[in-house]
Structure 1
Amino acid sequence: MLTTKIHLAALVGAALVAAPAAAQEISLRALGLVSTHAHHTALEREFYEGLAEQTGLDISVNFNPLDVLGVNMQDTMRVVRSGTFDIVETTIGSASRDDPFLEGIDLIGVSPDMETLEEVVDAYREVFSERVAERFNAHVLTLWPFGPQIFYCSGDVNSIADLEGLRVRSYTPTMSALVESFGATPVTLQFAEVYPALQRGVAECAITSPTSGNTGNWPEVTDSLFMLQISWSVQTHLINLDTWNGMSEEARAALTEAFDGLEDQFWDMARELTGAAVDCSTGQECEEYIPFDMTLVEPSDADLETLSASVESEILPTWAETCNANYPECSQIWNDTIGAVRGLTIE
């Protein structure tokens, strides 16, 4: 009789272990970017609302943008590391203040177009993910760009030379180094702080993507849209590693596939909506965004040469010095990954 009870207990235990992934109830808290990024927030909200149906998992996600909950962008790595939020979306340039290695994926001037950026992101994805897991107890779910980072400026700005003496909103250390190399003064501001800063003259220019600037109504307080593409505002979705490891293998596989699809959608959005936002901001045919009447300024060959020279003389050395001080293998890893793709070497 005792033997029979032992066998029965073993069978019950085995049945519980073998329960399907869908039986695991998963409840997550997710943090997005500020709600003024209307198109991106709408896509993310729709994704989370349909996640259970898409994956077949018993999953629910409580999603809110940063500004709704009053969370600062620079705190996103800390709240995902602690598990305060299970999933966060963050701008890597802002988050890199906690670890300069992260910024290596989107250094100023390294990726001149989106096709090159895709190669760069793929080259760095594995080492980036390993570093995030080690330093921030998080698993990388997506990597994708908002779009080219360009200049919204008050008054007439027709070239890099016109930036000299101006105060320019920046949000990464290497972006600040670039601004200084142009003879301007970097002003570090969170996105929500930029509109009033431009309105009050705290800054004369600000850097962001065409889509973000338009939805943030920056053309109301600026005049010139200087299309010098300096970087891409690469974003990431991260999930707390303890939360991730607590899921079944089947659940992790289903979520990986779902977030791969979300990443593809955001890459497509960056390709498709950048031009529409530029058109709307500069008084051309407008459907997707808010119509404004800024002056469109394309960079000259001389501007592009100045940018390229700054990458070699200022950006790479500045980043490497800071990153190597924090992580001695930093620049060598970058050389072996992104540097190999772009033909660049940090000495």
Structure 2
Amino acid sequence: MTRILVALAVGLLAAGPAAAQETPAGMRIAGNFSSNSKHVDNIEKPFFTGLPGATGLKLEMNYNPMDVVGVKAQDALRLLRTGAFDVMSVQIGMASRDDPFFEGLDLIGVSTNMADLRKAVDAYRDAFDKRLQEKFNAKVMTLWPFGPQVFYCNAPIKSLDDMKGLKIRSFTPSMAALIQNLGATPVTLQFSEVYPALQRGVANCGVTSPTSGNSGKWPEVTTHFLPLSVSGSVQGHFMNLDYWKKFSPAEQAKIAAEFKRMEDQMWALAVTANDDAMNCNIGKEPCKEGTKASMTLVDVSPADQKKLDEAVTKVVLPIWKESCNRVDPACTDVWNKTVGTARGFKID
């Protein structure tokens, strides 16, 4: 009898690690907002649906856009940390309220075109991933932008000076700082909340990419379009770290390769789709993929660009330095060595 009990105990000990390494049977995903149809319907949903076939893993995919499952963008990092979802599409600017370090990837006015933004993202990626793993038990799978973040307004404007006194949708702390510097009031809203806010006058203007605004039907509730880019609205797909570790190294390599493919598709969309969406917003040809509207185009003046550039050094970087160094005294040094070096900025 003793020999039988010993044998059973040894068998259970041997089975323990093997069971812990067993490939998960399913993947629970909270995707992007459903109104971002170009990203969700054309790239994200097909990616997750096809992931088992592309990797050869037997995974049951449970995919839903975050607004369908009632997830707030600002709660994403905490939900990942608890394992409520295995993978989440994260609006980093909204989620950075839990840790300002993450917003350093895409501070307002620092990287206003896609080429510059990619340099910043590549420079910050490793530091970003390390901090995400340490503080939120999650791993970076993708980092990509929606595209240049521009202004949609339902009030007649001719320049940034006309923003004074308006209520403007904001989704990052540094964007709120810029809006306040313009004499306007920032209104924090996630993407799915903006259309009704513009419709009801809760907000006078919203900031998003031309593609997202057009696909989200913002031209139905706005009249003036100012294509002054203030950032790229970097998103990410993050995976719960405990879930990631359940895959073998070979399986992880296959999964990472597929996520990289999706990331490249998202970058390509940010570069190629926004010119078409801008044309569609103002009723100009060619408008091949978006919905044609008749917004009034507000030309970006040198004075507007100068006002944005000045705000970076006078307002955005100092405010971010204060909030981030309060959480981590090394924050500024990390940023200067990564994004700052890549983009030619330095925080003193």
Query: Fold match, TM over 0.5?
Result: yes
Using the alignment, how far apart are the partners of 2:30 and 2:289 within structure 1?
25
What are structure 1's unaligned runs of at least 5 residues?
Answer: none
- Partner of residue 156, structure 1: 156
Match status 1:337 vs 2:316? no
Instruction: State the shift of 1:25 in Å.
Output: 4.9
- Partner of residue 140, structure 1: 140
Q: Deviations over 1:280-318 (max 9, x none)?
A: 111113221111110122311111111100000000000
Instruction: State the shift of 1:93 in Å.
Output: 0.2
Q: Secondary structure at the match of 2:345?
A: coil
- Partner of residue 69, structure 1: 69
Instruction: State the shift of 1:270 in Å.
Output: 0.6
- Partner of residue 37, structure 1: 36
Instruction: State the shift of 1:112 in Å.
Output: 2.7
Matching of residues 1-347 of structure 1 within 5 Å: 24-42=23-41, 43-285=43-285, 286-347=287-348
Using the alignment, how far apart are the partners of 1:26 and 1:331 within structure 2?
42
Residue 282 of structure 1 aligns with an amino acid whose one-letter code is I
Using the alignment, how far apart are the partners of 2:145 and 2:299 within structure 1?
21
RMSD: 1.8
Q: Deviations over 1:254-302 (max 9, x none)?
A: 0010001010000001111111111111111322111111012231111
Say whether the 8 Å CA contact 2:165–2:183 is kept in structure 1.
yes
Between 1:128-137 and 1:74-83, the stretch displaced more is 74-83
Instruction: State the shift of 1:27 in Å.
Output: 1.0
Residue 41 of structure 1 aligns with an amino acid whose one-letter code is V
Using the alignment, how far apart are the partners of 1:37 and 1:193 within structure 2?
13
Using the alignment, how far apart are the partners of 2:62 and 2:132 within structure 1?
23
Residue 74 of structure 1 aligns with an amino acid whose one-letter code is Q
Using the alignment, how far apart are the partners of 1:84 and 1:133 within structure 2?
16
Q: Secondary structure at the match of 1:207?
A: strand
TM-score (norm 1): 0.92
Residue 37 of structure 1 aligns with an amino acid whose one-letter code is N
Between 1:190-199 and 1:254-263, the stretch displaced more is 190-199
Residue 112 of structure 1 aligns with an amino acid whose one-letter code is T
Q: Deviations over 1:55-77 (max 9, x none)?
A: 12222321100111111111111
Identity %: 48
Point out 4+ residue stretches in structure 1 off by more than 6 angstroms.
Answer: none
Q: Secondary structure at the match of 1:111?
A: coil
Instruction: State the shift of 1:200 in Å.
Output: 1.6
Residue 290 of structure 2 aligns with an amino acid whose one-letter code is Y
Instruction: State the shift of 1:107 in Å.
Output: 0.3
Between 1:72-81 and 1:236-245, the stretch displaced more is 72-81
Q: Secondary structure at the match of 2:304?
A: helix
Using the alignment, how far apart are the partners of 1:248 and 1:283 within structure 2?
52
Between 1:163-172 and 1:98-107, the stretch displaced more is 163-172
Q: Secondary structure at the match of 1:67?
A: coil
Q: Secondary structure at the match of 1:68?
A: coil
Using the alignment, how far apart are the partners of 2:65 and 2:141 within structure 1?
18
**Cα distance change, pair 202–252 in 1 and its aligned pair in 2 (3 A):** same
Q: Deviations over 1:123-161 (max 9, x none)?
A: 000000001001100010000000111000113212111
Using the alignment, how far apart are the partners of 2:53 and 2:95 within structure 1?
32
TM-score (norm 2): 0.92
**Cα distance change, pair 25–201 in 1 and its aligned pair in 2 (3 A):** closer
Using the alignment, how far apart are the partners of 1:242 and 1:124 within structure 2?
23
Using the alignment, how far apart are the partners of 1:138 and 1:242 within structure 2?
8
What are structure 2's unaligned runs of at least 5 residues?
Answer: none
Say whether the 8 Å CA contact 2:74–2:94 is kept in structure 1.
yes
Between 1:90-99 and 1:55-64, the stretch displaced more is 55-64
Using the alignment, how far apart are the partners of 2:112 and 2:203 within structure 1?
26
Say whether the 8 Å CA contact 2:24–2:59 is kept in structure 1.
yes
Between 1:72-81 and 1:52-61, the stretch displaced more is 52-61
Using the alignment, how far apart are the partners of 1:298 and 1:240 within structure 2?
44
